[in-house]
Amino acid sequence: MMPTKQALLIIDYTNDFVADKGALTCGKPGQVLAPAIVNLAEQQFAQGDWVLLPTDVHTPHDPYHPESKLFPPHNVRNTWGRELYGPLKTWFEAHQNETTVWQFDKTRYSSFAGTDLDLRLRERGVLTLHLVGVCTDICVLHTAVDAYNLGYKLVIHEAGVASFNQAGHDWALGHFKNSLGATIV
């Protein structure tokens, strides 16, 4: 099957952001997303879409990284906290060798900042991005803004995004629709 012109981005769905004992967890709001995210990943994969997992990575107490001043150490490479959360980890392990599925490091809120994501999407002719993950008002938002500025069509899956800040989550959903022209499903 030839890959389609769509990609699903599963943003930062890791233990540190979702699990009860995560360093910077959104907790239950993030945990309840797991079935919807895995089902969407399987659906998108089955129809030939790209399934990408941009995953935050940090060095603890990095004096040059702005997040070190804002948040406790999180998503440190080779730790439990950076592992994908729950059933997504199992799904990824079963699909990680597929050509349309890949995980990649990101060190900023946006999946585009400092990565080759835009280049790789353009090489593959991707025009539409489906976004899920955490946190709605931080990494999902910044990825969406960059995608919008780069000319991608956006689809935000409401049952696939959450935050530790409900007001920020609600604001971001409105911003996706009203300022970025995203389709909310």
Q: DSSP alpha helices (H): ranges in the chain?
A: 15-18, 28-31, 34-46, 86-95, 117-123, 141-149, 166-178
Q: Give CA–CA dist 7/137, Å, rounded.
A: 20
Quick one: pLDDT at residue 70?
82
| Phi, psi angles (nearest 5°) of residue 7 | -140, 140
Q: Hey, what CATH topology would domain 6-184 get?
A: Rossmann fold (3.40.50)
Say whether pLDDT at 19 is over 90: yes
Say whether pLDDT at 1 is over 70: no
Full-model pTM: 0.95
Quick one: pLDDT at residue 73?
79
Quick one: pLDDT at residue 62?
83
